[in-house]
Amino acid sequence: MIASLGLESQVILVTGGNRGIGAAIVNLLLELGAKVAYTYRHDYTPQMGTVAISADVTDEANMIAVAAQVEAELGPIDGVVANVGITQDNFFPKLTSADWDAVMNTNLKGVYNTLKPIIPQMYARRSGSVVCITSISGEKGNLGQTNYAASKAGTIGFTKSLALEAARYNVRANAVAPGFIETDMLKPISEKVKQKILAEIPLSRFGKPEEVAWTVAFLLSPVASSYITGTVVRVNGAHHT
């Protein structure tokens, strides 16, 4: 028998699955045989073989509707990847209340909105795996990212607490903390700053979205990670150990 992650026919929802890390997760899960639903924003041509739903994670009612649509079209949800995240960077004296609220509402309240309608169903079925995408910034801090780092540190605290509550229902919750990964999120960073960051990374390169995706697939797997919950897995080339 060929070894498998056991994700075949599992129903998995990925938020922000149209590009970057989220798209890499969607593609890998499809290759691994999962039934994948994902959310996206704005104009976009959804991928064949998936349930793609236009939705804003900051909108609670929207995310309740997403959970209902995924269940109706694919069946009960086995795994969720809370992947959506944004940056609105500035040094703290220049950071506006709007920058603060946008990042908190998307990165932290968005996780709440995504999981709130799904977790009770997982508890009832005594099965499920949740993966929240946090960041190296949430663990070590980063210049210009007081808002983003706070939201990502908050996501770690949320995930660890959920893992403690969910364990008795056989539901697992873990976080993945990517370092600097080659996606649109790196675009606003100047070449000079990028070179400075690269010099701090022992593996001497930025990560690839696929390298995060494999870690997420591992944590979703009811076979490979069944005794792992409440952890933060770093995918950062030893940038922070």
Give the residues lining the site for ligand NAD (CB under 6 A).
16, 18-22, 39-41, 56-58, 83-86, 106, 133, 135-136, 178, 180-181, 183-186
CB of 20 to ligand NAD, least distance (A): 2
CB of 152 to ligand NAD, least distance (A): 7
The residue (of 124 and 133) whose beta carbon lies closer to ligand NAD is 133
CB of 132 to ligand NAD, least distance (A): 9
The residue (of 31 and 210) whose beta carbon lies closer to ligand NAD is 210
Q: Which of 82, 86, 84 has its CA nearest to residue 102?
A: 86
Catalytic residue of the set 38, 40, 148, 227: 148
CB of 26 to ligand NAD, least distance (A): 10
Between CA 156 and CA 184 the distance in angstroms is 23
The residue (of 71 and 182) whose beta carbon lies closer to ligand NAD is 182
Between CA 65 and CA 138 the distance in angstroms is 30
Query: E-assigned strands of the chain?
Result: 11-14, 35-40, 51-54, 79-82, 128-133, 171-178, 232-235
Active site residue 227: no
CB of 238 to ligand NAD, least distance (A): 15
Strands 35-40 and 51-54: parallel
Between CA 102 and CA 109 the distance in angstroms is 10
Who's near 18: CB < 8 A, 6+ residues apart? Answer: 38, 40, 41, 44, 46, 52
The residue (of 41 and 240) whose beta carbon lies closer to ligand NAD is 41
User: CB–CB of 115/80 below 8 Å?
Assistant: yes
Strands 11-14 and 35-40: parallel
The residue (of 16 and 79) whose beta carbon lies closer to ligand NAD is 16
Q: Is 216 helix (H, G, I), strand (E, B) or coil?
A: helix
Instruction: Supply the residues annotated as catalytic.
Output: 148
